[in-house]
Amino acid sequence: MFRTKNQSSEDRLFDTISYLSLIFFALIVLYPLYFIIIASISDPDMVSSGQIWFLPKGITFDGYKRIFEDNSILLGYRNTLIYAGLGAIISVAMTVSGAYPLARKDFYGRNFFMAVFVFTMFFGGGLIPTYLLVKSLGMLDTIWAMVIPGAVSVWNLIITRTFFQLNIPEELREAAFMDGCSDLRFFVKIVLPLSRPIIAVLALFAIVGQWNGFFDALIYLSNEKLYPLQLVLRKILIQSEPQLGMMVDVDTLAAKLKVRELIKYSSIVVSSVPVLIIYPFIQKYFVKGVMIGSIKG
């Protein structure tokens, strides 16, 4: 909103309230992240006692030092980047290629297949059957256990199908076919270039899901060389905990607890920063794709 000379007092009041509300909600969203950052470099005793609000105190980088002293952190970053990149490619390819036929009115049986997909949103086999399936396919302790089982989300499939229904008109397809265009060529040359917003959204969802992935790796991976970043950070955090039964003096125990608190906050920053860096570059596609893909069910 921009103020003009002809604005009434009611309009100015509305503008003021709107700006104040937006600033308030922005602070609610941003402050927890800011607090995590300053807490990761502040004295843990001051953090736990509530002395840290806006500026760091007793600045220390012991948490980050302890994390990056572990050689496995770079391996975890590498593995996570591989899982995120490969997972995004597979997820986008399968979701888009599955949603496009379901959006075609001339696809016989599309309602039946859609009902089957929706059914899986409410009823699943559970953890044990899924684990046995992954094991029987020989995917345990492989990268495929991280990228294949969750490659297709039914919710993303529905959003993508809706996007195609709203943005790929039948007239465009009919005109292309009259010019001798095949289904595959129409999909590759016309549909995909027009679907950049929803593709960016699907890629972002897949990357964030893989980047924050923790449980699948904990279940399917036992080889530490394949651990993603989240499991590496978990291992570092566990190693920093004082072990039960250990005979340590009070000062040593207090020091270990302080380092553990620093590692906890530092781990959040280390695992979140890359995603925060990527997001602004695809934000416009994210907003557009989600809004367009969720208007019609």
The per-residue pLDDT for 90 is 93
Contact status, residue 211 vs residue 274, Cβ threshold 8 Å: yes
Pick out the chain residues at pLDDT < 70: 1-7, 239-258, 282-297
The per-residue pLDDT for 296 is 47
The per-residue pLDDT for 89 is 93
For residue 6, is it within any domain?
no
For residue 227, is it within any domain?
yes
For residue 266, is it within any domain?
yes
What does the pLDDT look like over 58-108, one tens digit per residue? 787 877 887 777 777 888 888 888 998 999 999 999 999 988 888 888 888
The per-residue pLDDT for 297 is 43
Q: What angle do CA 204, 205, 211 make, to 5 degrees?
A: 85
Which of 267, 279, 268, 228 is closest to 78 using CA atoms? 228
The per-residue pLDDT for 49 is 75
Q: Which amino acid is at 205?
A: F
Residue labelled with tokens 């297949």: 113
The per-residue pLDDT for 36 is 82
For residue 26, is it within any domain?
no
Percent of the chain past pLDDT 90, that is, above it, reads 6
CATH of the domain at 225: 1.10.3720.10
Number of domains, the chain: 1
Q: Which domain holds residue 224?
A: 62-293
Got the DSSP string for the chain?
----TT--HHHHHHHHHHHHHHHHHHHHHHHHHHHHHHHTTS-HHHHHTT--SSS--S---HHHHHHHHSTHHHHHHHHHHHHHHHHHHHHHHHHHHHHHHHH-TT-TTHHHHHHHHHHHHH----HHHHHHHHHHTT-TTSTHHHHSTTS--HHHHHHHHHHHHHHS-HHHHHHHHHTT--HHHHIIIIIHHHTHHHHHHHHHHHHHHHHT--HHHHHH---GGG--HHHHHHHHHHHTSPPTT----HHHHHHHHHHHHHHHHHHHHHHHHHHHHHHHHHHHHHHHHHHHHTS--
CA distance 29 to 137: 43
For residue 118, is it within any domain?
yes
For residue 5, is it within any domain?
no
For residue 184, is it within any domain?
yes
For residue 29, is it within any domain?
no
The per-residue pLDDT for 95 is 92
Q: Which tokens sit at 56?
A: 């760091």
Cut 0.85: pTM above it:
no
